[in-house]
């Protein structure tokens, strides 16, 4: 299966737009990892259309809080419908198993010994300062961390988090992650 692991950064935050709807925000940078080619592609909002062929080769989109945030926001720009592609939202699986949400940084630290290099607020600040290079580096690092967590979960069937001083396992049912679904895609490619 061709997994596309991805993350988006935004130009603004919810308080800027007066809404909690992710589609009210604007993308600044996006990073996509494609498992078939083992490659990363990072684009700015002005280059976003370059990512459409990558997405259209996907058998599954993988993200962290992607069903609630990233997919609806990206779908605002995409000429087709990204909800037609199989989605593996790691946060949803964690919440279903544990009963609550965990931050990616907390999961990454406990599971793979890695951490995020910054946060979304820093990325918005960098956008406003014109520091696109820093946003690209941060977004790509987030995708690398998400990929490592995803790979760990696929191999072990769980992730870890720290509860106080102890690490705890969160079992994840990954059995459907390798099941290929039929999806009608290729909405932006010309034939």
Question: Has residue 144 got a pLDDT over 50?
Answer: yes
Q: Per-residue pLDDT averaged across 64-85, rounded?
A: 96
pLDDT of residue 157: 97
pLDDT of residue 115: 72
- Band (pLDDT 50/70/90 cuts) for residue 191 is very low
The 10s digit of each residue's pLDDT in 145-161 is: 999 999 999 999 999 99
Tokens 């990204």: give the residue.
Answer: 82
| Domain boundaries defined on the chain | 3-171
Which residues in 31-67 are b (16+ Cβ under 10 Å) and which e?
bbbbbeeeebbbbbbeebeebbebbbebbbbbbbbbe
Question: What token pair was written down for 156?
Answer: 């072990």
pLDDT of residue 56: 93
The 10s digit of each residue's pLDDT in 18-36 is: 999 999 999 999 999 999 9
Mean pLDDT lowest for which of 51-55, 59-63, 81-85, 163-167?
163-167
Q: Per-residue pLDDT averaged across 53-60, rounded?
A: 96
Calpha distance 43→37 (Å, rounded)? 17
| Kind of pairing between the strands at 166-171 and 158-163 | antiparallel
pLDDT of residue 163: 85
Question: Has residue 138 got a pLDDT over 60?
Answer: yes
Q: What is the pTM of this model?
A: 0.92
Question: Has residue 69 got a pLDDT over 90?
Answer: yes
Question: Has residue 184 got a pLDDT over 80?
Answer: no
> Are 62 and 92 a contacting pair, CB within 8 Å?
no
Question: Has residue 190 got a pLDDT over 70?
Answer: no
CATH for 3-171 is 3.30.420.10
């Amino acid at each position: 299966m061709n997994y596309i692991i991805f993350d988006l950064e935004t130009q603004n935050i919810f308080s800027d737009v007066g809404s909690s709807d992710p589609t009210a925000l604007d993308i600044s940078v996006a990073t996509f990892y494609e498992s078939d080619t083992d490659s990363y592609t990072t684009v700015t909002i002005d280059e976003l259309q370059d990512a459409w062929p990558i997405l259209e080769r996907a058998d599954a989109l993988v993200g962290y809080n992607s069903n609630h945030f990233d997919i609806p926001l990206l779908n605002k720009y995409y000429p087709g419908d990204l909800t037609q592609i199989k989605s593996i939202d790691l946060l949803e699986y964690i919440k279903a198993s544990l009963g609550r949400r965990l931050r990616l940084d907390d999961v990454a630290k406990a599971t793979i010994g890695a951490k995020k290099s910054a946060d979304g607020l820093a990325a918005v600040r960098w956008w406003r300062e014109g520091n696109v290079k820093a946003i690209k580096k941060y977004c790509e690092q987030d995708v690398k961390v998400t990929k490592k967590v995803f790979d760990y979960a696929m191999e072990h069937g769980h992730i870890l988090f720290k509860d106080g001083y102890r690490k705890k396992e969160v079992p994840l049912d990954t059995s459907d992650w390798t099941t290929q679904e039929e999806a009608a895609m290729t909405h932006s490619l010309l034939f």
